[in-house]
Chain A
Amino acid sequence: MDAEAADVALAQSGDGSAFERLYRTHVPRVHGLVRRMLDPGHADDITQDVFVRAWEKLHTFRGEAAFGTWLHRLAVNVILARRKTLGGERRRFHEDGEILESVSGRAAAPEHGVDFEAAINRLPDGARQVFLLHDVQGFRHEEIAQMLGIVPGTSKSQLHHARMALRKYLDR
């Protein structure tokens, strides 16, 4: 039995210290996900929301998948729910090459100084979400489709568009 499984078990039984250890282990990645999927200004608040919800839902964790996988999935649900309450324009998923041209065109000149992370932030919402969930977090297209309310085919095409657009920022 590894230390994390023991901490999960203790936390499920109400042990706050164990849950704190889980928090310390996973907060960098969760905070990174929140920061990239939403914006740095709300990242702290929403990261707190994620861990509070994880505590409330800990009893549903059965142990078949890694705890981190379960936690990141829960984080995505919290993020998507908060996106709607934070307002902002409703973005649509694009099916054509519009994304590729819009991001690549703006960043054609290296002197703009856009690094890789900044380029991710400049992707349209749909492509950014899919890219973060698939390539950064490791979710499968079927899972992403369910979470975002799209079909797996759209998830695949968004991912491809995102990757193609980000090629130019590999060395920054």
Chain B
Amino acid sequence: MNDQWTDRLSEYLDDELDQPQRAALEAHLAGCEVCTQTLAELRRVVGRAQGLDDRPPATDLWPGIATRIGVSTDDLARRRVRRISFTVPQLIAASIVLVAASAGVVWMLSRQEPVSAPVTSVPSSQARPVKWVARADSSGDHAVEELRLALQEGQRAGRLSPITVRKIEHSLAVIDSAIAEARRALEVDPNSDYLNSHLADTMRLKMQFLREANRIATAQT
């Protein structure tokens, strides 16, 4: 039976009716066996949906995914060096764990053994948070130098105009300036949750930017 009451049963089930509508429907349900039965069936449909069996794919898809995203989990210490090395994120992964909390993002030093062999030494558990920045910088400099070479090559090969190269370099300088300001602030107040998370966000932005800039610099038309 399709009527105004039946059509509202799903909304009732999902608690989407306002109070007057809910009261009217409940009053109707008290005297309508068909609607009550239908409601029970709808409830069971939802229950069946929520209990649908999810099984992993028959074939392990991870090897294909790992190849496409450029990671090898067999031996991260022997990871191939790509055109833009991701030594900065590896370094951060070896020394910090990012904790997402409801009030914001907090950086903490990991006290566990690193999952992968880091590019440089693992900091001691007593290391102050700002030391990870210094180590990240040294690897970041290498990545930036690789980008500069890629930009030069892109310009030489005619893929990039001098204006574009200058814009990319300028944008990198803007990001580096922001990182420098955040670092100076963090050295004065190393335990500030906000400053740690802001610096981490800005460094992550730099990694994304380097990745994207390298993709542009090496793209073939």
Contacts and interface: CB of A to CB of B under 8 A. Distances in A.
A and B touch in the complex (CB under 8 A): yes
Contacts of A167: 38, 41-42, 44-45
A10 interface: yes
Given A10-B93, A31-B56, A48 B64 contact: yes
Q: Is the interface of A mostly helix, strand, loop or mixed?
A: helix
Nearest to A23: B62
A113 interface: no
B116 interface: yes
A39 interface: no
Contacts, number: 140
Contact of B89 (A14, A28, A48): A14
A100 B1 CA distance: 12
A51 B65 contact: yes
Interface stretch (B97-105, B123-131, B175-183): B97-105
A12 B50 CA distance: 30
Given A28-B54, A117-B52, A17 B73 contact: yes
Contact of A31 (B57, B62, B71, B96): B57
Nearest to B72: A16
B5 interface: no
B99 A9 contact: yes
What class of interface size applies to chain A in its complex with B? 35 or more
Interface stretch (A55-63, A73-81, A82-90): A55-63
Contact of B57 (A10, A47, A159): A47
Interface stretch (B6-14, B19-27, B164-172, B186-194): B6-14
Contacts of B115: 10, 15, 17-18
Interface of A: 1, 5-6, 8-10, 12-20, 23-24, 27-29, 31-32, 43-44, 47-48, 51-52, 55-56, 59, 62-64, 97, 100, 116-117, 131, 135-136, 141, 156-157, 159-160, 163-164, 166-167, 170
19 contacts: A5-B98, A8-B98, A13-B98, A14-B86, A14-B90, A15-B76, A15-B115, A16-B66, A16-B72, A23-B65, A32-B52, A32-B55, A48-B68, A52-B69, A55-B69, A59-B204, A63-B101, A135-B45, A167-B38
